[in-house]
Amino acid sequence: MQTIYLSEQGVRTGEDITVSLCKLFCEYRENTTFVFENGDYYFSPHAEMKADYRLSNTDVAPERTLGLWLKKMKNCTLVGNGARLWFAGHMQPFTLDECENVTIQGFVINWKKPMVAEGIVQAVSDKTVDVYVDPDKFPHRMRDGQLEFDVGADEWYPLVRWGHNVFEPHFRTLRRKAGDCISTGNGVTDLGGDRYRIESHREVVACPGDIVVLRHNSRKHAGIFSEHCRDITIEDVTVHSCGGLGCLSQFCHNMTYRRVHFVPDRAAGRLITNGRDDGMHITCNSGTVTITECTFLGLMDDPINVHACCVKVTEAIGNRALRCQYGHVQAQGFKYWAKAGDEIVFIDRGNMSCVYKAKAKAYMLEAIDTFTIEFEEELPDFVLKMAQKGAALAIDNVTNTSAFVCTNNRFGSCRARSVLISTPKPVLIENNYFESSGSAVLVAGDANGWFESGECHDVEIRGNVFTQACLTSNYEFCEGVISVCPVVPKPEVEKPFHKHIRIVDNTFDTADAPVLYAYSCEGLQFVNNRIFKSPAAEKWHPNENRIKLRYCVGASLQNNQWIGTFSDDTILEQEHCLHTTFDH
């Protein structure tokens, strides 16, 4: 193992090192430790630092603009020593491509002109809000009737049409029922003095002095992107700004994120803003993904989402191959969706049951949204008939699914949910602290809308604290503080989608109902939990019961303590369930 000090190679603080650092990485691809100084390094768009990457759950683009580009590096460590990495314009700070046993530690990712903005509420009416935007912290202009923001590199981006959220100023939690309450579809008016009136489609929930997070630009780049890598560790990294998903890992094996913090740059006067979208997005990984001792606050989408990517079958090609179509416009064109020997499951898109399994022989991408896949053996007639129907069948690659360990993280208030899981491998969510504005944990699964697939077989949710800041706004799938809510269009109680979810020894401090919602699940346990009725928060959610089960089999709800005066004495509501064990 050799050690390279960047300063000795002419890669110095205070300079734009985008190209020179890439050349250094190309020269030393293996068995090398790269040591940065505790200083400021600068990165900007360069023509030679553009490449075609197909990012999961991200806007399709012909190329991405890269900052630190690690390609086919092995047994390497980047030691940041607290180095501050400054980016300008729409860029991808870190890209890891086909790397093995690489560690990135001790960096701060930031923009002088941030990728998300914020304003201070000055006045509110039913569907309008007046905000002040500091021109030094968030450079902006009005142009052709649109409020635009400068992100550096001569790039300006308008506000997106929806998804602007209101945080109260003291504890920096999303104001109750304020999730996505501000849209810009009815226009923005310049009031002078950097004050703007936003006319929203729906009622604005805000008070003077509140902080509005204003999303602009597009979801084009991730903060740390890893593809087709194995045994990667990201630790002691702070993300102060990001133009898309924070950490995106796809088709990787064994990923560890330790002490990665998504927090605002308070020294620069930012109160909430850091990431524009999800914090960590884990797509089609294998092995084990570990996320531990991390912090999330003020993100504009889910802090963590772990899932696979299933696809629609459009036709059979002979009796050994299928033509398939990616189902979502932000998840397509993948180079590594399948390889020879991968285990493929066939899914009835109606009841979401697995109807067949086979081994892949070959995968060929035909277009950005279409591919063919060949199998080792002939497919049975009933599968071929389902394939010819065009909308009845989906397939998923279960080889590209990972175990997930989520421990000792702090989920501060962010837009939407906190942890989404859709994987058949073991899941442990333990000793975390939740202030989610939506559901704290969503056990999802879908082959019809988002196509973020993966039925869960073994989930342990243990020893967590769910505060009264959870479930204060109503986003998609947020049916309870913990929501088991797969998309199953035609449920059959005899064919539950998820299995063996255990929610034990947790503490809930809740406004009221609902605490737990479970749909199409077998072997659910809700045991030994303490649920406090918070006297500081009122019930608002439309779900009336503390626990609601639908199409569940063999649920066990036992030895839970309900402490305080709840609005309804009815704890449990059931619909189309079998063999439930319940004590009061």
Q: How do residues 211-263 score in pLDDT, each as one tens digit?
A: 999 999 999 999 999 999 999 999 999 999 999 999 999 999 999 999 999 99
Predicted model pTM:
0.98
Residue 512: predicted pLDDT: 85
- Which pLDDT tens digit goes with each residue over 269-307? 999 999 999 999 999 999 999 999 999 999 999 999 999
Contact 486, 423 (CB under 8 A): no
Cα–Cα–Cα angle for 440, 446, 452, rounded to 5 degrees? 75
The yes-or-no verdict on residue 584 having pLDDT over 80 is no
Residue whose tokens read 């560790």: 233
Assign 3-state DSSP to the chain and report helix, strand, coil percentages, each to 5: 5, 45, 50
Residue 25: DSSP 8-state: H
Residue 24: DSSP 8-state: H
Cα–Cα–Cα angle for 22, 25, 31, rounded to 5 degrees? 170
Cα–Cα–Cα angle for 465, 466, 471, rounded to 5 degrees? 170
Residues 501-521, mean pLDDT to the nearest whole number = 96
The yes-or-no verdict on residue 96 having pLDDT over 80 is yes
The yes-or-no verdict on residue 391 having pLDDT over 80 is no
C-alpha–C-alpha distance, residues 198 and 129, integer Å: 5
